[in-house]
Structure 1
Amino acid sequence: MPSATTTTTRRAGQAPLRQAHTPAPGLFLTLIAVCSAVTAANIYLAAPLLSLMARDFGSAPSAVAWIASVAQLGYAVGLLFFAPLGDTANRRRLVAGLTLVTTVALGASAAAPGTTALAVAMFVASATTVIPQLLVPLVAERAPADRRARHVAAVIAGLFTGIVAARVLGGLAGQAFGWRWVFAGAAVLTLVLGLTTALVLPSRRREGPLFAGLAALPSVLRDSPDLWRACLRQAGMFGAWSALWTALSLLLTGPAYGLSIATAGLFGLFGLTASAVAPLAGGFVDRFGAARVVRSAYLLAAVSVPLFWLGGQALAALFAAAIAIHAALVASHVANQTLALTATSTPATANTAYVVAGFAGGAAASALGGAAFSHFGWGGVCAVAGLWLVLGWGLTSARR
C-alpha cells in the first residue's frame, strides 16, 4: 500500500486518489473492518428489541414488527442511491456526511415518541449506513493482487460480526438498559468510528454526473458476464440462507421445540462462523480462484438443506446445519464479491449491482419461506431453500 505522501492512480479513465494521513496497511484494514461491523449493525438493531418497543408504546409485538422491515427497505434504497457514488464522489466527504446523517437519525430513533417517528428515523438511518459497501471496493482496489480476496474477507468478517452483535448483544443491552439506550449507544459508536475512518480515506475530486453509477447499472451488468454470474449465484445462496434463517425462530419457538424467544435468539451466535471462515475463504480464493470456492460453497449449502430438514426433529442436526449454511454463505460471499469488484472498471457500481441482487434474492426467498412454513411446515421452508440453490447455480451454469 502506498505511503501517506504518494499518489495512487486508479483504473484507466478515473481520477487519481490523493493519499493523506493513511495509517499502516494492517491498521487501515482493521479500522475499516471495525467501522463496517458497527455501521452494518445499525440495520439490525430493531429486530431483537421489538418486544421492548411494543411494551414502551403500549402495543402488541406484532404491531411493531414491521419496523424491522422498514430498516431493510431503507438499506435497499441506500444501496441503490449511495453505494454507486464510490466511483464518482469524494469518498472521504461522502463517508463523513453519511456518518453524520446516520448519527442524527439514530439519535432521533432513541428519542422517538411513537412507532411512526421511529420508523421514519430507522429508514433514514438504514439508508445512510451503507458505509461498508463504500469501503469494500476501496479495500479491493488498494490490496495487492495476490491478497485481494483476503483483504475483502477481513471486511466481510467484520460486517458479519456486526450483524451478530446487533442481534445478540443488542437484545441483552436492551434488557439491561432499555431499547432507547441501545440506539443512543449505536449513534455514538457510529459517529466516532465513521469520522475516524473518513479522516484516513484517500480523497478524490468528483468526476462526471453524481448519479452516473446508478444510471450505468444495466449496462455494467449486461457487459460483464462475470458480474452477472456473481450476482445470481449470491442471490441464490443468500436466498437459501434467508428462507431458512427467517423461519428458524418459528420452528424453535413452536411446538417442535418450545424454546423461549431469548433462547431461540442465541442461535444468532452461529453467525460467528462467518468470522472464522471469511479469512480462510479469502486465502482459498487467492490461491484457487473464485469459481472453485463458490462451487464448494454451493455443495456445502446443498448438504446443509437435508440437515435442516432433519433438524425439524433433531436439535443436533440443526446445530450442524446452522454451521454449514453460515460457512457456505460467507465463503460464497467472499468469492463472489471479490469477482464482482474486479470484473469492471467501476467497482462501486458493480458492487451495488452485486449487493442489491443478493438482497433481492434474500428478500424474495424470505417472504416465500414464511408462507411455506404457514402452509407446509418446516419441510416447505427447506424446499424453498433447495429451490433457490438450484436456481442460483442452474441459471448461471446454463449461460456462458
Structure 2
Amino acid sequence: MPSPAPSRATTRTPAMTVAAPQRADRRSTLFLLLIAVCTAVTAANIYLAAPLLPLIARDNGTTASAVAWIASVAQLGYAVGLLFFAPLGDSANRRRLVGGLTVVTTVALVAAAVAPGTGALAVAVFVAAAATVIPQLLVPLVAQRAPAERRARHVAAVIAGLFTGIVAARVVGGLAGQAFGWRWVFAGSAVLTLVLGLATAVVLPSEHRPRTGSLLSGIAALPGLMRRSPDLWRACLRQAGMFGAWSALWTSLALLLTGPAYGLSTATAGLFGLFGLASSAVAPLAGGLVDRFGAQKVVRSAYLLAAVSVPLFWLGGHVMAALWVAALAIHAALVASHVANQTLALTTTSTPAAANTAYVVSGFAGGALASLLAGPAFGHFGWGGVCAVAGLWLVIGWGATAVRR
C-alpha cells in the first residue's frame, strides 16, 4: 500500500529554509539603510547655518563673525531637544514620536527660510535643531536589534550616515547657497526632512508601551544615571572634549577660508567639507575595532590623533596642505571616538535611550560652548585663538577622565 503524500503545509525544502533567513537579512539591511539616510538628512539640519554665515551676514549688512553665534544656537537647540525628547525612546511609541518631530522640524525650517532678520532666523534654527533629534531616537533601536557580536558595526553604520549628513550640510549647503541663496537651502532641507522622516516613521515597529513618568522625569533621572555608571560618565566627558575641539575648528573654518588669509568664495569653501567624508569611511572600521579591541583603546588612539591635528590646523592658517591633513585627522579622530563612546554608553545601563541622551547632550553641550567661544576668539586673536580653544577642550576632555574614580 503506497504511503500517503506529504502534507504541503509541513513540507520544507532546503531552498525554503535558506531563503527565509536571506529575506530577513535583506529586510534588516534595507531597514538599516533607511535609518542611515534619514539620520544623514536630519543631522544636516543642525549644521546648515555654518557654511551660510557669510551669505546671511551679507544679506543683513554685517560681518560673518558677528552672526557666527547662530551656529552655536543650533547646537544648543539640539542639546535642549535631546534633554526633552530623546529619553522618551525608552517609554514612548517611537513611530509617533519620529513622525511628530519630523513635522515640527519641517515647519521650523520653512520659518528659517522666510525669516526677516537674524533674530527670527536664530529662533527658527533653534526650534528646528531641537526637534531634529530623530537620529538619537533611532540609534538605541539599532543597538537593541543588532546581534551582540556586530553591535558596534551597526551603530557605526548609523554614525556614518550622521557624519555624511554633516559633510553634506557644509558642501551642498555652501554650493546651493552660492547658487540659489541661503533661504533656498533651508527650504530644500525642509522637503527632504519631511519625506525621509515620515518614510522612516512608517517602517518603524509599532510599540505599545505603558506611560511611565512625565516629560521631565527622564531629565531628572540623568544625573543619577551618570553617578551610577562611571563608564557612562567617562564616555560623556571624553566626547564633550572631542566634539568641542571639532566644533570650534569646523564651525569657524568658513571664516578662515573666506577671510583675508585665503579669500575663497562661499561655494569653494564649502567644498572643503569633502574632507569630512573621511568620517564616513572611518566609521565602519572603527566599529570593527571596537568589537575586537574594546572602546577604551579606540578612544585613546582617537585623542592622540586629535592632539596631532590641532597644531596642524594652526599651521593651516597659512599653509593649505596642512589644513587638508588636519581636516582628515580631526574627522577620523572624532568619528572613531564617537563610535567607541556611544557603543559604551548604549551598553552600560539598562535604559539605553536615557544613557544615550546623557551622552549626546554632553557632547553637543561641549560642542556648543566651544563654538560659542570660537567666534570671539577668531575676532580677537584670529585663527590661532580658535586652535587654542580646540586644544583646551581636548585637555579638559581627557584630563577630567584620566584619573579613575
- Secondary structure of 1:398's counterpart equals coil
Aligned counterpart for 2:182 among listed residues 162, 179, 182: 179
RMSD of the TM alignment (CA)?
Answer: 2.3
Q: Are 1:397 and 2:399 matched, yes or no? A: no
Q: Distance in 1 between matches of 2:327 and 2:119?
A: 35
Aligned counterpart for 1:119 among listed residues 95, 117, 122: 122
Q: Are 1:59 and 2:34 matched, yes or no? A: no
Q: Are 1:48 and 2:51 matched, yes or no? A: yes
Q: Distance in 2 between matches of 1:386 and 1:48?
A: 23
Q: Distance in 2 between matches of 1:193 and 1:265?
A: 24
Q: Distance in 2 between matches of 1:354 and 1:128?
A: 18
Q: Are 1:82 and 2:85 matched, yes or no? A: yes
Aligned pair in 2 of structure 1 residues 301, 187: CA closer, same or farther (>3 Å)? Answer: same
Q: Which moved more, 1:342-351 or 1:206-215?
A: 206-215
Contact 2:163 2:276 in 1 (8 A): yes
Q: Distance in 1 between matches of 2:259 and 2:104?
A: 40
1:14 corresponds to: none
Matching of residues 87-236 of structure 1 within 5 Å: 87-204=90-207, 205-211=209-215, 212-236=217-241
Contact 1:22 1:28 in 2 (8 A): no
Deviation of 1:279 after TM superposition, in Å, equals 0.7
Aligned pair in 2 of structure 1 residues 48, 393: CA closer, same or farther (>3 Å)? Answer: closer
Which residue identity is paired with 1:342? T
Aligned counterpart for 2:355 among listed residues 333, 350, 369: 350
Q: Distance in 1 between matches of 2:87 and 2:281?
A: 29
Q: Distance in 2 between matches of 1:71 and 1:93?
A: 24
- Secondary structure of 1:210's counterpart equals coil
Q: Distance in 1 between matches of 2:25 and 2:379?
A: 53
Q: Which moved more, 1:241-250 or 1:354-363?
A: 241-250
Contact 1:40 1:129 in 2 (8 A): yes
- Secondary structure of 2:236's counterpart equals helix
Normalization by structure 1: what TM-score?
0.87
Q: Distance in 2 between matches of 1:228 and 1:249?
A: 33
Q: Which moved more, 1:140-149 or 1:373-382?
A: 373-382
Contact 1:98 1:128 in 2 (8 A): yes
Aligned pair in 2 of structure 1 residues 328, 68: CA closer, same or farther (>3 Å)? Answer: closer
Q: Which moved more, 1:266-275 or 1:378-387?
A: 378-387
Q: Distance in 2 between matches of 1:304 and 1:370?
A: 20
Aligned pair in 2 of structure 1 residues 206, 189: CA closer, same or farther (>3 Å)? Answer: farther
Aligned pair in 2 of structure 1 residues 257, 54: CA closer, same or farther (>3 Å)? Answer: closer
Contact 2:75 2:367 in 1 (8 A): no
Which residue identity is paired with 1:120? V
Alignment deviations for residues 233-255 of structure 1 (CA, whole Å, 9 cap, x no partner): 11111122222224434443444
Deviation of 1:23 after TM superposition, in Å, equals 7.4
Q: Distance in 2 between matches of 1:302 and 1:370?
A: 21
Aligned pair in 2 of structure 1 residues 96, 22: CA closer, same or farther (>3 Å)? Answer: farther
Matching of residues 235-254 of structure 1 within 5 Å: 235-254=240-259
Q: Distance in 1 between matches of 2:314 and 2:184?
A: 39
Deviation of 1:36 after TM superposition, in Å, equals 0.5
Which residue identity is paired with 1:97? G
Aligned pair in 2 of structure 1 residues 314, 107: CA closer, same or farther (>3 Å)? Answer: closer
Alignment deviations for residues 279-329 of structure 1 (CA, whole Å, 9 cap, x no partner): 110111111111111111111112222322332332222211111111001
Which residue identity is paired with 1:69? S
Aligned pair in 2 of structure 1 residues 258, 291: CA closer, same or farther (>3 Å)? Answer: same
2:301 corresponds to: 296
Deviation of 1:399 after TM superposition, in Å, equals 2.0
- Secondary structure of 1:60's counterpart equals coil
Q: Which moved more, 1:149-158 or 1:109-118?
A: 109-118
Paired residues in the alignment total 379
Q: Distance in 2 between matches of 1:301 and 1:309?
A: 13
Structure 2 unmatched runs, 5+: 1-23
- Secondary structure of 2:298's counterpart equals helix
Report percent identity of matched pairs. 82
Which residue identity is paired with 1:103? T
Q: Distance in 1 between matches of 2:98 and 2:394?
A: 35
Contact 2:75 2:364 in 1 (8 A): no
2:330 corresponds to: 325
1:27 corresponds to: 30
Alignment deviations for residues 68-125 of structure 1 (CA, whole Å, 9 cap, x no partner): 3332332221111111111111111111111111122222333344444433333222
Greater C-alpha radius of gyration = 2
Aligned pair in 2 of structure 1 residues 272, 89: CA closer, same or farther (>3 Å)? Answer: same
Q: Are 1:360 and 2:365 matched, yes or no? A: yes
Contact 1:231 1:354 in 2 (8 A): yes
Contact 2:173 2:270 in 1 (8 A): no
Q: Distance in 2 between matches of 1:306 and 1:65?
A: 23
Contact 1:108 1:121 in 2 (8 A): yes
- Secondary structure of 1:299's counterpart equals helix
Aligned counterpart for 1:257 among listed residues 232, 237, 262: 262
